[in-house]
Amino acid sequence: MADKKVTVAANHVTKRFDLAERQSDKVKAVFKFWGKGIPNFWAVKGVSFEAHAGETIGIIGTNGSGKSTLLEMVAGLTQPTSGQMTINGSTSIIAIGAGMRPQLTGRANIRLKALMQGMTEKEIEAKMDDIIEFSELGDFIDQPVKSYSSGMKSKLGFAISVYSDADIVIIDEALSVGDPTFTQKSMERTKRFKEEGKTIFFVSHSAAQMRQMADRVIWMHYGDIRMDGPIDEVMPEYERFLKHFNRLSENERLTYQKRYKEAQKTFTLEHLKQIERNRQMLADPATDLQRQKENQHAFVEDNEKMGWFTRIVLTIFIIATVGLMNKQLLNMSWANVMAHPTHLITNFAPSKLAALDKRHGRNGDDNQRTDMLTATQNSYTVKEGETLASIAANANISVAAIMQANQLTDETVTPGQVLTLPVER
Amino acid sequence: MKDIWKIIKELVKSWPVVRRIAHYNNDQAYRQNYLGDFWHFADPALQIGIMILMFAVRNGEDKGNPHATGLAGYIAWIALGMVTYFFMQSAMQKSAKSIQSQVNMLSRMKFSLAAIPLTEIVTELRRYFVMLGMAFFAILFMDVKPSIYWLQFFYYFIAMFVFLYALSLVTSTITVLVPDFYNAYAAVLRVGMWISGVIIPVDSPSFPLLLSNILKLNPLYYIIEGFRETLLENPIWFWQNVTANLIFWGIVIILLILGAHIHMRFRSRFMDFV
């Protein structure tokens, strides 16, 4: 096994969730300064393992033990809070109804998902029929996904992922929804993946499925790996634990869970570092110091701050841009700015602004304009030789309308007389 | 800086996928309507028609607009501005929401999150080009002669594209963290047309100079005015207005640095926030 290519390597991976009550608190939790009082929950508390090509790894554990969180990190959907997750190859996660648009048809969803995975139209066309056949949906493929049953959804999801050709396949309880025939078919298919040298992660609560598929089992227990080994070693232990756990009274069970959950809340990275150091000391005291150095970054939360260089560049750009804006606002020339830099500020004085407006012909312009408009639109001075009829024809208004507006009794007008021309509607 | 470089590399890598998804989105958008693509263009065309009617035809010749001569010029002026603004508005609005609405689906696919806003912008491009073609037809019809200045179209197009992407990096991240931001942003964009010189020229003589100058700092104004200076009458070369160029690119670079930083800083937690 060890000679095969390492596809996934986890090194002291942790994942913290902020138990914030509101969205705004979640944002606060991001910033150390604000986020003091917000409780944490460590879903994964420092997990290390390696997975190789051609391995099928079953993940077992009770609900809330961090299985899904761990697999999401393996798939690259979320990033670890600290530690390193190295993934060599493409990943594909199969979960119930994951990543489908309910209003689109099954066929459209296949196309969309395939596009996102970088397939070309041709490749999709070639695979489309196989996918539809594998999904066993028949005529329903052209119905919107929202009308599918959960079994149909998971079948479709599985079919798409089967043909997506990823190096690392993650099956998160997706097999437990379909009927036994489909499950059997999926498992056959998954076994072929294994022969193709893919790494398969596989979550299931069914011991039978686990026995059939997995050759190695990781037992997650409240954020830790409790056991990691061949299926024959881990499964009996897990079953023994379950039996023991089920025999406990309700109260005892609750206390047990509470104790572990509390540990997940109070966990700190410092704590993990200490445990790890002790473990190494016991294992190999000689190389302890060196190893500590190597692993130092593994216990620090990855809180990317803006680099100094970037900060300086950003500041320079902001200052320069604001300065230029200022120059633009005051219509100052480059020569003026060079000669009197202080004018960038003093020119904002109201008197200076008024002067600027005047220079650019903006002052009082508004009033003149309205005068002009009313003059041309509404009143008219009669010139030599004009009759009411010719004025009316020029202004495109009826004679009667002009007479009515000016309260004229007959059609005679004298030169120099001022008429009001009504606005035609 | 490192972040920007990383994002550029991701975008280059996912560019073919972005194009295919954009194409697909356009295909799907109006699938269930009988008239299909018609609706894609009907809404903006109607709005542009109304604006032309209200402002160009009703207001008559050249009142209040020093940039356009004659009714025909005014119509071309408004049409070009509105086509550009509509594209920017819908691209800005959709890209701001893109990560919030799609992170659930897309993050399961190993699809670069930085490419999601880009996908939305590229999706909007098709409508933009069709509308632009219509406006262009109007421009030719209005007796504006093609000139060497029209080459500037590519400069302004690239400027617009880079600006939209830089802005979308910032807005899409903020929308995930603080959902309220999106509402405010959408509201501002809806009225933004009136202060970006799309219909009312911001250097109209009836504005105080300071107000005109403040409105002119708007990068949207820079782009819209740039297209007009390129395609309509009295074209000028873009480098002739040094300060405006520097301000525009200054804003773009600031947005890019900030956007790339906050995008990278929060991208691993997007799933936790949505």
- In chain B, what's the furthest Cα-to-Cα distance? 57
- The beta-carbon neighbor of B2 closest among A75, A307, A328 is A307
Three-state secondary structure string covering A21-78: CCHHHHHHHHCCCCHHHCCEEEEEEEEEEEEECCCEEEEECCCCCCHHHHHHHHHCCC
Number of neighbouring beta carbons within 10 Å of residue A2: 6
Calpha distance A155→A137 (Å, rounded): 8
Calpha distance A122→A118 (Å, rounded): 12
Instruction: Find tokens 């995975």 and name the residue.
Output: A117
Nearest Cα residue to A270 out of A291, A247, A249, A301: A301
What is residue B96's predicted lDDT score, i.e. its pLDDT?
94
Mean pLDDT, residues A291-313 taken together = 69
Nearest Cα residue to B223 out of B258, B257, B192: B192
| Bridge-based pairing state of the strands A199-203 and A168-172 | parallel
pLDDT-based confidence at residue B182 (cuts at 50, 70, 90): very high
Mean pLDDT, residues A353-366 taken together = 68
Contact A317 B253 (CB under 8 A): yes
| Bridge-based pairing state of the strands A418-420 and A6-18 | unpaired
Listed by number, the residues of chain B in 1-60 with a beta carbon closer than 8 Å to a beta carbon of chain A are 1-3, 14, 16-17, 20-21, 24, 28
Q: Which two tokens stand for residue A254?
A: 């609750």
pLDDT digits (tens, 9 = 90+) for A159-188: 887 777 778 888 877 666 667 788 888 888
Mean pLDDT, residues A118-146 taken together = 84
What is residue A370's predicted lDDT score, i.e. its pLDDT?
43
Calpha distance B157→B152 (Å, rounded): 8
CB B81 within 8 A of CB B170: no
Instruction: Find tokens 């050709």 and name the residue.
Output: A165
Sign of CA dihedral B153, B155, B161, B164: negative
Full-model pTM: 0.76
Looking at beta carbons, which residues of chain A come within 8 Å of B216?
328
CB A113 within 8 A of CB A163: no
Of A19, A115, A124, A313, which to mutate for an interface test with B (greatest number of B Cβ within 10 Å)? A115
- The beta-carbon neighbor of A79 closest among B17, B244, B268 is B268
- The beta-carbon neighbor of A304 closest among B110, B246, B264 is B264
Does the CB of B135 have a partner CB in chain A at under 8 Å? no
CB A54 within 8 A of CB A65: no
Whether A6-89+167-294 shares its CATH topology with A308-420 is answered: no
Does the CB of B188 have a partner CB in chain A at under 8 Å? no
Nearest Cα residue to A259 out of A271, A251, A270: A251
CB A211 within 8 A of CB A187: no
Contact B247 A18 (CB under 8 A): no
How many A×B Cβ pairs under 8 Å?
Answer: 133
Calpha distance B199→B48 (Å, rounded): 10
Looking at beta carbons, which residues of chain A come within 8 Å of B269?
30, 78-79
Crossing angle for the helix pair B2-29 and B242-267, nearest 10 degrees? 90
ipTM passes above 0.90 = no
DSSP state letter for A105: B
Calpha distance A416→A389 (Å, rounded): 16
Mean pLDDT, residues B146-159 taken together = 90
Report the residue of chain A nearest B102, measured CA to CA. A99
Contacts of B196 (CB under 8 A, 6+ apart): B85, B202, B215, B218, B220, B221, B224
CB A127 within 8 A of CB A63: no
pLDDT digits (tens, 9 = 90+) for A208-261: 888 888 888 888 888 888 888 888 888 888 888 888 888 888 888 888 888 888
Task: Please provide the DSSP assignment of A297-338 as one string.
Answer: GGGS----PPPHHHHHHHHHHHHHHHHHHHHHHTT--HHHHH
CA-based nearest distance A10→chain B, Å: 17
Contact A366 B206 (CB under 8 A): yes
Looking at beta carbons, which residues of chain A come within 8 Å of B208?
353, 357, 362
Q: Which CATH architecture has domain A6-89+167-294?
A: 3-Layer(aba) Sandwich (3.40)
pLDDT-based confidence at residue A277 (cuts at 50, 70, 90): confident
Q: Which CATH architecture has domain A308-420?
A: Roll (3.10)
Q: What's the full length of chain B, in residues? A: 274
pLDDT exceeds cutoff 50 at A368: no
Instruction: Find tokens 């150390």 and name the residue.
Output: A32
pLDDT exceeds cutoff 70 at B107: no
pLDDT digits (tens, 9 = 90+) for B30-88: 766 777 778 778 888 888 888 878 776 766 555 556 666 667 777 888 888 999 999 99
Listed by number, the residues of chain B in 227-266 with a beta carbon closer than 8 Å to a beta carbon of chain A are 243-244, 246-247, 250-251, 253-254, 257-258, 261, 264-266
The residues that bridge with A47 in the sheet, in sequence order, are A13
Does the CB of B104 have a partner CB in chain A at under 8 Å? yes
Looking at beta carbons, which residues of chain A come within 8 Å of B258?
314
Looking at beta carbons, which residues of chain B come within 8 Å of A91?
110
Report the residue of chain B nearest A365, measured CA to CA. B206
> Domain map of chain A by residue range?
6-89+167-294, 308-420
Q: How many helices (H) and strands (E) does chain B have?
A: 10, 0
Looking at beta carbons, which residues of chain A come within 8 Å of B214?
329
Mean pLDDT, rounded, of chain B:
84
CA-based nearest distance B258→chain A, Å: 8
Calpha distance A287→A189 (Å, rounded): 45
pLDDT-based confidence at residue A1 (cuts at 50, 70, 90): very low
Sheet order of strands, A216-221 included: A91-95, A168-172, A199-203, A56-60, A216-221, A224-230
Looking at beta carbons, which residues of chain B come within 8 Å of A362?
205, 207-209
Q: Which two tokens stand for residue A277?
A: 């150091």
Contact A324 B243 (CB under 8 A): yes
Q: Determine whether A77 is exposed, middle or buried from the number of CB atoms within 10 Å of its CB (0-12, 13-18, 19+).
A: buried
Looking at beta carbons, which residues of chain B come within 8 Å of A95?
108
Mean pLDDT, residues B251-262 taken together = 93
pLDDT-based confidence at residue A32 (cuts at 50, 70, 90): low
Report the residue of chain A nearest B29, measured CA to CA. A104
